[in-house]
Amino acid sequence: MRVALLDYGAGNLHSLGKALERGGATVSVTSDWDRALAADALVLPGVGAFSAAVAALPEDRNRVRDALARGLPCLGICLGMQLFFDGSDEGEGEGIGLIPGRVRQLDAPVVPHMGWNDVDEVGDPLFAGLGGGLAAYFAHSYRCDPVDSAIVIGWTEYAGDRMAAAVRWKRSWGVQFHPEKSSRGGLKLVANFLEMARQ
């Protein structure tokens, strides 16, 4: 299983790479979209700012959308999940546009939201073997607001606000939390993604 871990040019990808390797993947860290889209699976990590990340996307977003529509398995983590959407209040630039909707700043007394929160999932295989939910580590200032809530496969609550914690579109999954920092449950989720990518 060859997994491309996209490098936006910011942040430490080491712990995520180790989590993927622990799940049995051969990981290639790359900023080259030809290599990324030729891999068996793609991971968009949760590091950096939205504007910098969209600057690292291909100018023609159709390349990425078409690859994902054809079934290239993809896992977007935190910022990586936010890139699935049309745009963000965090900065200028267009996301991949895979999921209609926008990324908006958290409306909470304390921002960013950093710490452990429960994720209530709705039965997607990404959460298999986790007993119906997950305690996950979050570190974010923005939330994803999809046009169609049917794509939401996990919910969380922060400061009284219920929000999407995980989404799915075909064989693309996004999680607002950091599974690589979410103990054994998070590592199991990464392993579940790799298992579905192999199928």
Give SS3 for 102: strand
Looking at the DSSP assignment, which residues form a beta bridge with residue 155? 120, 164
> Known catalytic residues?
78, 178, 180
Indicate if the alpha-carbon torsion angle 120, 126, 129, 134 is positive or negative.
Answer: negative
What is the torsion angle, in degrees rounded to the nearest 10, for the CA atoms of residue 177, residue 2, residue 13 and residue 179? 20
What the block records as the tokens of 44 is 């968009």
* Residue closest to 73 by CA, chosen among 178, 186, 174, 180: 174
**Alpha carbon distances (Å) from 83 to 24, 28, 80:** 26, 20, 5
Beta carbons within 10 angstroms of residue 52's beta carbon = 16
* Residue closest to 184 by CA, chosen among 18, 19, 17: 19
Beta carbons within 10 angstroms of residue 71's beta carbon = 11
